[in-house]
Structure 1
Amino acid sequence: MSEPTDCIVLRGIAAEAIVGVYDFERHQPRPVPIDLTLWCDLRAAAASDDVAETIDYDGVTQTVHQVCATLQPALIETLAGTIATRLLGDARIRAVTVTVHKPGAVAGVEDIAVRLHRSQAEHP
């Protein structure tokens, strides 16, 4: 089954998380803006104009915030992977691209980000 060409894009989700390998990073949440692309079939929603036929943007955002508030990983790679796994729990989301930004993580670098792409075919 090929991935759909339709997608929903959420850019700049204002999340915060305790994430990092250094002790000073483990004391309080830091901003980790998150971008998502949700690959799904939007034909029914486009035809019906019915919100029940699409993905709940607010619910997706709440999932991201919940993962960020509870996980506390060392790596943003782990944060991105966990978000992807949680979102793929909705079978209507056939694939997801997750980008987690960690601005200011390295002196002299404006932003560091991890982007990963996962699909239902890879989802356990």
Structure 2
Amino acid sequence: MTDRISVRGLRARGRHGVLAAERELGQEFVVDVTLLLDTAPAAEGDDLDKTVDYGELAQDLVKVVEGEPVNLIETLAQRLADVCLAREAVRSAEVSVHKPAAPIPLPFDDVVVTIIRSRS
């Protein structure tokens, strides 16, 4: 059985991108994560230690977005996936990084990179 825990629309300011202005000014990034895990052990014992504390996870994800800048949101997504997979209960994670203020000189709604990573 595989259950899911999702955190969607997590917002944080970061300085990621290849352009100097992106690094200097920063911009808002939006993160969605879905974790695949078995929540039955947590539910059976009503035990937070047997699942993922999504409040703590959200704080750790924001630290990554606000942390060391990278050129590519693909790299940022990988770092966020690594944070998710560091939780023992998590079997795999889907991570989407939205960059709604990407430097595109045309009207657009959003730029999103989505990755799926699993334990080896």
Given the alignment of the two structures, is residue 31 of structure 1 paired with residue 35 of structure 2, yes or no? no
Deviation at 1:34, TM superposition (A): 0.3
Task: Give the secondary structure class of the aligned counterpart of 2:25.
Answer: coil
Number of residue-to-residue matches in the alignment: 118
Given the alignment of the two structures, is residue 76 of structure 1 paired with residue 73 of structure 2, yes or no? yes
What's the TM-score once normalised by structure 1's chain length? 0.88
Q: What CA RMSD, in Å, does the superposition of the two structures yield over aligned residues?
A: 1.3
Given the alignment of the two structures, is residue 119 of structure 1 paired with residue 104 of structure 2, yes or no? no
Runs of 4+, deviation exceeding 3 Å: none
State the alpha-carbon separation in 2 of the partners of residues 28 and 60 from structure 1: 26
**Residue correspondence of structure 1 range 1-124 to structure 2 within 5 A:** 4-105=1-102, 106=104, 107-121=106-120
Deviation at 1:51, TM superposition (A): 2.2
State the alpha-carbon separation in 2 of the partners of residues 18 and 12 from structure 1: 18
State the alpha-carbon separation in 1 of the partners of residues 25 and 112 from structure 2: 20
**What are structure 1's unaligned runs of at least 5 residues?**
none
Q: Is the 8 A contact 1:18 1:29 kept in 2?
A: yes
State the alpha-carbon separation in 1 of the partners of residues 58 and 25 from structure 2: 21
**Counterpart of 1:9 in structure 2: which amino acid?**
S
Q: Is the 8 A contact 2:27 2:101 kept in 1?
A: no
Deviation at 1:63, TM superposition (A): 1.1
**Counterpart of 1:118 in structure 2: which amino acid?**
R
Percent identity for Structure 1 against Structure 2: 36
Q: Is the 8 A contact 1:71 1:79 kept in 2?
A: no
Larger proportion of strand: 2
